Amino acid sequence: MKKKTQDELLVDHNHDGVDRRGFLKCMAWAGTGALCLMNGGVLRSAGLSGISGSAARAKGELSFAQISDSHMGFNKPANQDVVATLKAAVDKINALPNPPEFLLHTGDISHLSKPEEFDAVEQILKSCVAKDVFYVPGEHDVINDDDAANYMQRFGKGATGMGWRTFEKNGVRFFGLVNVMNLKAGGLGSLGSEQLEWLGKELRPLSASTPIVVFAHIPLWSVYPEWGWGTEDSAQALGYLKRFGSVTVLNGHIHQTMQKVEGQVTFHTAASTAFPQPQPGKAEGPGPMKVPADQLKQLLGITDVNFVRGQKALAIVDPNLG
Amino acid sequence: MKSSCKCVYAVSVLAIFVAATGFLGKAPGREEATSSAATAQIKIDNFAFSPTELKVSAGTTIEWINRDDIPHTVVSDDKTTFKSKALDTDDKFSYTFTKPGTYSYFCSVHPNMTGKIIVQ
């Protein structure tokens, strides 16, 4: 074993390039806004202040931010001013050391699929430095039958089917997936055969070295099926992604940050900008979690993502609003 | 008995008989169902339908009321028999079950929330 420096974690217990003990330690730091960078299987951490001096400023970089679960229209005790907290999230984004080029919104934009709720979110996001926003719907955005069509009409430009889309930024391929339509009784999130077929077709011509980012509302891995925190048919999608050297999956829905690394795939969920939810199994149900007013903003947040060419994993940081 | 008395007697007996059967005709067991239809209530709270399973007789109207701080829907598994709009806190949805059978349903927003109505 090499001699350890302060921030390096070098023990590869399972011989798969991931230092698990170090990973867990890094995740503990991540809760305080630390940055975990993986370079060739070695995890290094840096405080937020260290980012500006890092390799993130190198040529060929890509910087974007993710927000999720704004639930515009929610007004219960857990947060009676979701407008203010969304505005605080925009302020946070605007103050990031690497200004994001665009935003991903991973759904539950509205709380009750109402037009005025969508209008309010779009209006608030206009003051963000990132002018382009790519949305995917959450289940709260398509509650009633005609809401799916209304969603497509509002956010469907450049999208196919029921709102899925793909685009490229600086050599990174993005896939916005929709897993909240046609949900069946007793089921979890669902991608459906039409979307899976589309995804397979889009991925086929790409070289394995193309960095891929997939974003969807409900987690594409099984976080907690008892609360519907998973996607039934994600295995097929993950099968298509298996051959790629760098895959990042960004989700929302669970209103807390969580991360899992499996081989070349990093799964990550963002916090909500509206209200937190309990950790899996720690409450009767996955509903809004009331916390003392002075703690609320610490449990809401945004996700800042930076890509540096040559590094396998994207650098993901979750600054909270507190 | 004189014939006029017999006549009066017969009419009296007939009158009493008609009155008696008339009275029986108004007994509760033979009343029409429309004047007091059966109803039942199901509460939605903490991401669950309560009670999860309910047995009712045909003709019962069930009213679901959402007491949760998150919107839910009430949708039959086949998505056609009954389907509510989005129910926010304190919103209600009613459906009258006229045909006997088992009706499984779920919340289309949170599909792991399921319930069952057994109509007898």
Same domain, A19 and A140: no
Same domain, B50 and B100: yes
pTM (predicted TM-score): 0.80
Among A78, A183, A285, whose Cβ lies nearest the Cβ of B108? A183
Give residue for tokens 């503990």: A28
Whether the pLDDT of residue A185 is over 50: the answer is: yes
Domain span at residue B19?
Answer: 1-31
Same domain, A41 and A144: no
b/e map B4-15, b = 16+ CB within 10 Å: eeeeeeeeeeee
Give the mean model confidence (pLDDT) for residues A71-100.
96
Residue of A nearest to B85 (CA): A144
Give the mean model confidence (pLDDT) for residues A247-253.
97
Give the mean model confidence (pLDDT) for residues A172-197.
96
Domain assignment of residue A229, yes or no? yes
The total number of structural domains in chain A stands at: 2
Same domain, A220 and A177: yes
Same domain, B63 and B108: yes
Residue of B nearest to A74 (CA): B70
E-strand ranges in chain B read 39-45, 48-50, 53-56, 60-66, 75-76, 92-97, 101-106, 114-119
Domain assignment of residue A81, yes or no? yes
Whether the pLDDT of residue A159 is over 50: the answer is: yes
Same domain, B26 and B51: no
**Which of A183, A272, A284 should we substitute to test contact with B (largest number of B Cβ atoms within 10 Å)?**
A183
Same domain, A249 and A192: yes
**pLDDT by residue (tens digit) across B39-77?**
999 999 999 999 999 999 999 999 999 999 999 999 999
Whether the pLDDT of residue A61 is over 90: the answer is: no
Whether the pLDDT of residue A230 is over 90: the answer is: yes
Flag the least confident range among A2-16, A38-52, A89-103, B46-60.
Answer: A38-52
Same domain, A105 and A28: no
**pLDDT by residue (tens digit) across B3-48?**
555 655 655 655 555 555 544 444 444 433 443 479 999 999 999 9
Check CB contact of A284 with chain B, cutoff 8 Å: yes
More confident residue, A138 or A11: A138
DSSP state of A270: P
Among A77, A145, A183, whose Cβ lies nearest the Cβ of B111? A183
Whether the pLDDT of residue A278 is over 90: the answer is: yes
Check CB contact of B110 with chain A, cutoff 8 Å: yes
Per-residue pLDDT at A55: 43
Give the gap in angstroms from C-alpha A154 to the nearest C-alpha of chain B: 20
Whether the pLDDT of residue B79 is over 50: the answer is: yes
Same domain, B47 and B97: yes
Same domain, A38 and A66: no
Check CB contact of B78 with chain A, cutoff 8 Å: no
- Count interface pairs A-B at CB distance under 8 A: 62
Give the mean model confidence (pLDDT) for residues A89-104.
95
DSSP-assigned beta bridge partners for residue A306: A63, A315
Among B47, B89, B108, whose Cβ lies nearest the Cβ of A285? B47
Among A143, A186, A285, whose Cβ lies nearest the Cβ of B73? A143
The total number of structural domains in chain B stands at: 2
Same domain, A68 and A217: yes
Same domain, A104 and A224: yes
Q: What is the CATH number of the domain that holds A218?
A: 3.60.21.10
Same domain, B27 and B41: no
Among B69, B77, B111, whose Cβ lies nearest the Cβ of A288? B69
Check CB contact of A184 with chain B, cutoff 8 Å: yes
Same domain, B5 and B43: no
Check CB contact of A282 with chain B, cutoff 8 Å: no
Domain assignment of residue A136, yes or no? yes
Check B106 against A185: CB less than 8 A apart.
Answer: yes
d(CA A119, CA A126): 11
Check A143 against B71: CB less than 8 A apart.
Answer: yes
Count CA atoms closer than 13 A to A158's CA, side-chain side.
14
Range from A9-18, A35-44, A173-182 that averages highest in pLDDT: A173-182
Domain span at residue A107?
Answer: 55-317
Residue of A nearest to B116 (CA): A185
Same domain, A181 and A258: yes
Whether the pLDDT of residue A223 is over 70: the answer is: yes
Q: Which pair of tokens denotes residue A54?
A: 């890092």
Q: What is the CATH number of the domain that holds B93?
A: 2.60.40.420
Q: Which ipTM did the prediction report?
A: 0.78
**pLDDT by residue (tens digit) across A284-320?**
999 999 999 999 999 999 999 998 777 778 899 999 9
Give the gap in angstroms from C-alpha B101 to the nearest C-alpha of chain A: 18
Residues of B in contact with A114 (CB under 8 A): none
d(CA B6, CA A9): 118
Same domain, A30 and A75: no
Among A78, A186, A287, whose Cβ lies nearest the Cβ of B68? A287
Residue A222: count of CB within 10 angstroms of its CB? 14
Check CB contact of B48 with chain A, cutoff 8 Å: yes
Same domain, B70 and B26: no
Whether the pLDDT of residue A27 is over 50: the answer is: no
b/e map A295-305, b = 16+ CB within 10 Å: ebbebbbbbbb
d(CA A42, CA A22): 9
Give the mean model confidence (pLDDT) for residues A153-157.
96
Whether the pLDDT of residue A38 is over 70: the answer is: no
Same domain, B48 and B21: no
Same domain, B4 and B45: no
Domain assignment of residue A196, yes or no? yes
Same domain, B93 and B45: yes
At B96, phi and psi to the nearest 5? -100, 125
Same domain, A17 and A154: no
Give the gap in angstroms from C-alpha B24 to the nearest C-alpha of chain A: 50
Residue of B nearest to A78 (CA): B69
Same domain, B53 and B72: yes
Whether the pLDDT of residue A208 is over 60: the answer is: yes
Same domain, A26 and A78: no
Domain assignment of residue A217, yes or no? yes
Give residue for tokens 């790629």: A244
Same domain, B95 and B69: yes
